């Protein structure tokens, strides 16, 4: 499960209650109050403790069904991590909020021949499509033949929780079909809907498959797994927040960093997973792997400047 936000938490709970054998959840963020409107695994206590979503989800899911093996991974789902996690997996579920990660998932799926289920939600609009390597068009193929975003983002229109439930119902149903290997029941069409406007469509996508596609074609090169195609800074959807990634993963001593920043006047709060660092005008959250979320801005340059000032 890539992402433990709205789609991820709903999918994860349904699959855990269904009793699947093992579930790995990757997420880069932590729980905030605004999440509680649509992310059903989390509570106000998780918000107060600033728990990473992957850690909070793991804890809650183990309380729901202790027979399921749950692994929460706090980090950014980059190609290197995805390639390592793909080993021995039967299925990948997309619960992220950006196309850079989705296209990396898509290339990992094609490279390792693992089915994955695309899902997206914005406002009252939702989409779902099941991608089977070697049989269906991949996401790269679809992007060439149809618009995927409809001109909306969670920044501009938000998300209503019933839409989340609808998309995850499609995703989890497809997941269960794949996990029990009922391949004849797997849906082959691209489903989209608008709950508010009472609109629904289901499109056959067979003709969208492109044999020249660099992700799934006869001479695939998996372009979205290459380092030069990855951004180091990303504006998080609907958050007025920039994520900054270091050039390579770090192992930060959080206590030592907290002590140093406290001495120079920052207000620092933390837990075993992260530090929340504030001054009169700035707020930044730093994880042990060196990633940071810079709040209150969508300016990539300003975010990088603050990151470098804090970590050097």
pLDDT at position 154: 63
Share of the chain above pLDDT 90, in %: 74
CA distance 266 to 280: 9
pTM for the structure as a whole = 0.85
pLDDT at position 146: 63
Domains of the chain listed by start with CATH number: 6-229 (3.40.50.720), 233-311 (3.30.310.10)
pLDDT at position 59: 97
CA distance 254 to 269: 10
231 falls in which pLDDT band (50, 70, 90)?
low
CA distance 152 to 164: 16
Active-site positions read: 154
Q: Is the pLDDT of residue 52 over 60?
A: yes
pLDDT at position 311: 81
Task: Average the pLDDT over 122-137 and give the result.
Answer: 95
pLDDT at position 237: 73
């Amino acid at each position: 499960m890539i992402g433990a936000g709205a789609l991820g938490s709903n999918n994860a709970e349904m699959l855990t209650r269904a009793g699947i054998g093992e579930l790995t959840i990757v997420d880069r963020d932590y729980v905030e109050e605004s999440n509680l409107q649509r992310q059903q695994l989390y509570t106000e206590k998780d918000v107060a403790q600033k728990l990473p979503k992957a850690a909070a989800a793991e804890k809650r899911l183990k309380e729901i069904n202790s027979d399921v093996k749950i692994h929460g991974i706090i980090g950014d789902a980059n190609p290197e991590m995805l390639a390592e996690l793909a080993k021995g997996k039967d299925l990948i579920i997309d619960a992220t909020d950006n196309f850079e990660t989705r296209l990396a998932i898509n290339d990992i799926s094609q490279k390792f021949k693992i089915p994955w289920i695309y899902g997206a939600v914005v406002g009252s609009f939702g989409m779902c499509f099941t991608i089977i390597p070697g049989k269906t068009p991949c996401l790269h193929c679809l992007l060439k033949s149809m618009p995927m975003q409809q001109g909306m983002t969670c920044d501009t229109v938000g998300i209503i929780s019933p839409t989340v439930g609808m998309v995850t119902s499609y995703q989890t149903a497809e997941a269960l079909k794949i996990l029990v290997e009922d391949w004849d029941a797997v849906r082959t069409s691209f489903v989209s809907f608008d709950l508010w406007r009472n609109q629904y469509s289901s499109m056959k996508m067979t003709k969208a498959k492109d044999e020249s596609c660099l992700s799934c074609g006869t001479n695939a090169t998996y372009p979205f797994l290459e380092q030069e195609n990855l951004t180091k800074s990303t504006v998080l959807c609907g958050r007025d927040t920039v994520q900054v990634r270091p050039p390579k993963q770090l192992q930060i001593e959080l206590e030592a960093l907290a002590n140093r920043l406290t001495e120079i006047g920052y207000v620092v709060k933390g837990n075993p997973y992260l530090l929340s660092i504030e001054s009169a005008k700035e707020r930044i959250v730093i994880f042990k792997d060196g990633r940071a979320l810079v709040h209150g801005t969508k300016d990539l340059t300003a975010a990088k400047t603050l990151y470098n000032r804090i970590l050097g």
